[in-house]
Amino acid sequence: MASAVRKADEQINEEGYFALEKQTDMRHEYIDGEVYAMVGGSFNHGRITQNIARKIGNHLENNPCEVFAESTKVKIPQVFQRSDYVYPDVVVDCSTQKANDNALTTPVLVVEVLSKSTHYRDKVTKRHLYQQITTLQEYVLVEQDVAEVIVRRRKTNWLAEEFFLGDAVTFDSISLTLTVAEIYERVVNEEVTEWNEQKLSQTNDTEAGGVG
């Protein structure tokens, strides 16, 4: 997801949060009574998000499940008479049932692209929030600066599975398999650059060996 900064020190209620969302074009997350303003992410963040959303969208053509990227809110079930609201980078919902506040309530798959400013919140705080959603089957974290994908699944009690370049990741909730290389297409970091150079070298060696 895009980087987030804390909007205010004092807590506000849900009505105050909804009013704030209407007053500005900027998106805000509402967690534990505090509001966080969403700010722009990096090129790599955008590339990863769009790679995943595009491939999922193509896979889900003529399917009741839908994919949404960055601008769609998810409502977390009420805790202590208050709900939380977050904006995943990529989310898949198979019923598109919406609450009165125009937020998805029944996602099956959530993807967050990690950044330095949101690393802890995505890996810890938001993971615990998402796990409260009974329909959610998989929570996926994608690093930007290195090539690493972490998948947690409800059926394995949210045990972390790690995937790297050369691996393939299967999203069981929507029956889709992507290679890690596909997820990091066009991404510029040291690992991806080295991987692409190695693949190009292997291709050139193969073509050279076939000449003559």
Higher pLDDT, 54 or 95: 54
Is the residue at 112 inside a domain? yes
Place of tokens 């105050």: 16
Is the residue at 33 inside a domain? no
Q: Is the dihedral of CA 176, 128, 158, 165 positive or negative?
A: positive
Nearest C-alpha neighbor of 2 from the set 130, 182, 144: 144
Domain ranges, residue 123: 41-210
- pTM (2 decimals)? 0.89
Tokens of 209: 């060996």
pLDDT score of 8: 44
Q: Which CATH number do you get for residue 99?
A: 3.90.1570.10
Is the residue at 160 inside a domain? yes
Is the residue at 13 inside a domain? no
Question: 32: helix, coil or strand?
Answer: coil
Is the residue at 118 inside a domain? yes
Our CA dihedral for 42, 47, 49, 55, rounded to 10 degrees, sits at 180
Is the residue at 34 inside a domain? no
User: How far is the C-alpha of 89 from the C-alpha of 27, rounded, in Å?
Assistant: 12
Tokens of 52: 């995943």
Confidence of residue 212 (pLDDT cuts 50, 70, 90): low
Confidence of residue 210 (pLDDT cuts 50, 70, 90): low
- Domain count of the fold of the chain: 1
What share of the chain in percent tops pLDDT 70?
Answer: 87
Q: What is the pLDDT of residues 87-135, one digit of tens each?
A: 999 999 998 665 556 889 999 999 999 988 788 888 898 999 999 999 9
Is the residue at 184 inside a domain? yes
User: How far is the C-alpha of 198 from the C-alpha of 183, rounded, in Å?
Assistant: 18
Is the residue at 12 inside a domain? no
